[in-house]
């Protein structure tokens, strides 16, 4: 079946008890057993819950994965994946990794003896040179947050595998509608479902997918052992969100392209980061491995002061962290989502403004940005 059909039906059979077409919110912590150890596949909701089962099956299908494992947040998924490693293991990550991941690597795992190297996107052409026998994992975001850097997933998978390492791809920005890393050779895909998969800024969640049975078995074990599991209502919200993922992503991409074009010719914008622009250094790779270029656009304002001032001037674009909802958001990563990278070698530029372009009428979004970019006369 096609992607749009699977988004609506995969893992979402009518409820066997009532015929309800929508997967119920199984708001229960435990399940009655007929005799000791005799149950219907569920014994305790940290281990498994039917609403979570539906979400895991649906998202695994969309990522072309054999197995899906849901978590309480994107960082809950990241933390659990790092438990595939042991102290002393080395991980190579894309340099402008999400600030919360950098906070976890630098302040939680590095003090325990795990080792991390942060590699700029342009260095990924020579990824093999940065891998040694202690490197267990390569971690990329593509497009990356917040600079929209692009990494060639197939080439990264080949280099990682040649060194005996796993390739993990954070697919939060692209979503499986635009890009499916497992089909390109990645071992694990990770998501913050808080973003496009949920799609309505009303839930926090995470997800990992893999087709490797050994990794999947370990992740299910870690899911129940570490306990970063999502509640049934949160799972239900994401199941509902993904039904319209394809439609939403098409509009996000269309609006983002129009906004990138406007910003590119605007005299008060120093530089635009959007992989859909032919001038973007990763454009050719993005065009090859993505269906379209996504809904995130970043740009450099004239100064850090102007960046902070202009994000307070927009009216349709709301000043807020997060991304991927139907409504447009604007922020300054260096002072908001990526403040934790301030001391990193790859700190977010202070004049950078990040847009999560929503699915409102494009005329209103363009007018809002044009008004905000030209400060009112004193």
Q: Which residues bind ligand PLP (CB under 6 A)?
A: 73-75, 98, 100, 141, 145, 170, 172-173, 192, 194, 204, 206
Beta carbon nearer to ligand PLP, 262 or 282: 282
Smallest gap, in angstroms, from Cβ of residue 105 to ligand PLP?
12
Question: Active-site residue 170, yes or no?
Answer: yes
Q: One of 46, 103, 250, 335 is an active-site residue; which one?
A: 46
Strands 135-141 and 90-94: what pairing?
parallel
The residues, ordered by sequence, that sit 6+ positions from 250 with a Cβ below 8 Å of its Cβ are 292
Separation CA 172–CA 181 (nearest Å): 11
Question: Active-site residue 109, yes or no?
Answer: no
Degrees, nearest 5: CA angle 342-345-347: 35
Smallest gap, in angstroms, from Cβ of residue 201 to ligand PLP?
12
Separation CA 57–CA 74 (nearest Å): 18
Smallest gap, in angstroms, from Cβ of residue 85 to ligand PLP?
18
345: phi then psi, degrees, rounded to nearest 5: -65, -10
Largest CA distance in the chain: 78
Query: Which residue is nearest to ligand PLP, using beta carbons?
Result: 74
Separation CA 297–CA 336 (nearest Å): 16
Smallest gap, in angstroms, from Cβ of residue 323 to ligand PLP?
7
Smallest gap, in angstroms, from Cβ of residue 93 to ligand PLP?
12
Beta carbon nearer to ligand PLP, 65 or 79: 79
Contact 334, 348 (CB under 8 A): yes
Beta carbon nearer to ligand PLP, 6 or 199: 199
Q: One of 96, 152, 170, 187 is an active-site residue; which one?
A: 170
Q: Which two tokens stand for residue 6?
A: 């699977």
Beta carbon nearer to ligand PLP, 330 or 372: 330
Beta carbon nearer to ligand PLP, 114 or 139: 139
Q: How would DSSP label each residue in 85-99? A: S-TT-EEEEETT--H
Other beta carbons less than 10 A from residue 44's beta carbon: 13
Beta carbon nearer to ligand PLP, 93 or 246: 93
331: phi then psi, degrees, rounded to nearest 5: -160, 170
Smallest gap, in angstroms, from Cβ of residue 121 to ligand PLP?
14
Q: Which residues of 231-257 are buried (b: 16+ CB within 10 A; e: fewer)?
A: bbebbbbbbbbbbbbbebbbbbbebbb
Smallest gap, in angstroms, from Cβ of residue 147 to ligand PLP?
12
Residue with tokens 């997967």: 23
Beta carbon nearer to ligand PLP, 11 or 333: 333
Question: Active-site residue 274, yes or no?
Answer: no
Nearest to 181 by CA among 219, 215, 124, 141: 141
Q: One of 42, 98, 109, 114 is an active-site residue; which one?
A: 98
Separation CA 232–CA 208 (nearest Å): 17
Q: One of 195, 218, 240, 248 is an active-site residue; which one?
A: 195
Other beta carbons less than 10 A from residue 128's beta carbon: 14
Question: Active-site residue 195, yes or no?
Answer: yes
Residues with catalytic function: 46, 98, 170, 195
């Amino acid at each position: 079946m096609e992607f749009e059909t699977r988004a609506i039906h995969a893992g979402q059979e009518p409820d066997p008890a009532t015929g309800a077409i929508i997967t119920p919110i199984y708001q229960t912590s435990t399940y009655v057993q007929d005799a000791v150890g005799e149950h219907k596949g569920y014994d305790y909701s940290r281990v498994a819950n039917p609403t979570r089962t539906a979400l895991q099956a649906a998202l695994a299908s969309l990522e072309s994965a054999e197995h899906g494992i849901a978590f309480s947040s994107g960082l809950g998924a990241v933390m659990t994946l790092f438990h595939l490693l042991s102290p002393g293991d080395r991980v190579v990550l894309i340099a402008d990794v999400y600030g919360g991941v950098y906070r976890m690597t630098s302040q939680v795992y590095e003090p325990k003896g795990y080792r991390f190297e942060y590699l700029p996107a342009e260095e990924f052409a020579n990824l093999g040179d940065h891998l040694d026998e202690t490197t267990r994992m390569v971690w990329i975001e593509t497009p990356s947050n917040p600079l929209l850097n692009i990494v060639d997933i197939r080439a990264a998978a080949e280099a990682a595998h040649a060194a005996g390492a796993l390739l993990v791809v954070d697919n939060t920005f692209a979503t499986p509608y635009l890009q499916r890393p497992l089909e390109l050779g990645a071992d694990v895909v990770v998501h913050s479902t808080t973003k496009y998969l949920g799609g309505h800024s009303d839930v926090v969640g995470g997800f990992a997918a893999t087709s490797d049975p050994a990794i999947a078995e370990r992740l299910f074990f870690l899911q129940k052992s570490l306990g970063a599991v999502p509640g049934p209502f949160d799972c239900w919200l994401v199941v509902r969100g993904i039904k319209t993922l394809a439609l939403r992503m098409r509009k996000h991409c269309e609006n983002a392209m129009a906004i990138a074009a406007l910003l590119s010719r605007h005299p008060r914008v120093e530089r635009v980061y959007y992989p859909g622009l032919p001038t973007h250094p990763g454009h050719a790779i993005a065009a090859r491995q993505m269906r379209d270029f996504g809904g995130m656009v970043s740009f450099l304002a004239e100064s850090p002061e102007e960046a902070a001032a202009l994000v307070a001037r927009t009216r349709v674009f709301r000043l807020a962290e997060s991304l991927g909802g139907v409504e447009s958001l604007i922020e300054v990563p260096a002072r908001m989502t990526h403040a934790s990278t301030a001391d990193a070698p790859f700190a977010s530029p202070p004049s950078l403004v990040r847009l999560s372009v929503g699915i409102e009428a494009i005329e209103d979004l363009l007018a809002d940005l044009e008004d905000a970019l030209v400060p009112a006369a004193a």
